[in-house]
């Protein structure tokens, strides 16, 4: 079955209009953007300060300050409970605590978090709400603990 030249022109004209309309629909109604979690964050207790930054294509958090950086013997605190013996003498300050954080929804990221208080790594989620960040670490998806952080100005 042959189409007439007029039908072919009408087909192209209609498809061009749909494509143009689709472009504007996507350009002006794209996905909601998340807030930027990068920056310096202080735990609500003041005990820990971390810096969230880009690590390749993901986010990570490094420990940049402790309220009490020295142990009871006056030495800088180290990762003494790490399951890998060769890592137990590395200083806590500078340690990557959260890694592989990827967006998982509006203002939410998921990845993993290392807890130097017990030497274990947990599944983690981060949720931003203005200048507050909730960090939740879970073992077996049921035993969870949440810490609040505030953005440092």
Per-residue confidence (pLDDT) for residue 32, from 0 to 100: 52
What six digits make up the tokens of 91? 């200083």
Per-residue confidence (pLDDT) for residue 55, from 0 to 100: 94
User: What contacts 153, CB < 8 A, 6 or more positions away?
Assistant: none
Are the C-beta atoms of 62 and 95 separated by less than 8 Å?
yes
> Do 5 and 51 belong together in one domain?
no
Q: pLDDT tens, 52-63?
A: 999 999 999 999
Residue 96, SS3 per DSSP:
strand
Per-residue confidence (pLDDT) for residue 7, from 0 to 100: 57
The CATH number linked to 49 is: 2.40.128.520
d(CA 80, CA 103) in angstroms, rounded, equals 31
Report the pLDDT averaged over residues 10-39: 50
Q: Is the predicted pLDDT of residue 24 greater than 50, yes or no? A: no
Q: What is the value of pTM for the model shown?
A: 0.76
Write out the residue range of the structural domain in which residue 100 sits.
39-151
Q: Is the predicted pLDDT of residue 1 greater than 90, yes or no? A: no
> Do 63 and 115 belong together in one domain?
yes
Are the C-beta atoms of 108 and 127 separated by less than 8 Å?
yes
Per-residue confidence (pLDDT) for residue 33, from 0 to 100: 60
Q: pLDDT tens, 92-121?
A: 999 999 999 999 999 999 999 999 999 999
> Do 23 and 43 belong together in one domain?
no
Residues in a beta bridge with 59: 54, 101
> Do 52 and 75 belong together in one domain?
yes
């Amino acid at each position: 079955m042959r189409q007439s030249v007029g039908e072919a022109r009408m087909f192209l004209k209609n498809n061009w209009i749909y494509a143009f309309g689709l472009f504007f629909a996507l350009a002006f109604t794209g996905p909601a953007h998340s807030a930027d979690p990068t920056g310096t964050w202080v735990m609500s207790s003041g005990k820990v300060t971390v810096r969230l930054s880009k690590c390749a294509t993901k986010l990570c958090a490094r420990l940049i300050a402790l309220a009490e950086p020295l142990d009871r013997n006056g030495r800088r605190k180290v990762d003494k409970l790490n399951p890998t013996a060769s890592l137990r003498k590395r200083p806590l300050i500078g340690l990557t605590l959260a890694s592989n954080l990827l967006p998982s929804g509006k203002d939410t990221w998921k990845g993993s978090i290392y807890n130097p208080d017990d030497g274990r790594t947990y599944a983690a989620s981060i949720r931003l709400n203005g200048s507050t960040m909730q960090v939740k670490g879970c073992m077996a998806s049921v035993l969870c603990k949440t810490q609040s952080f505030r953005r440092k100005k």
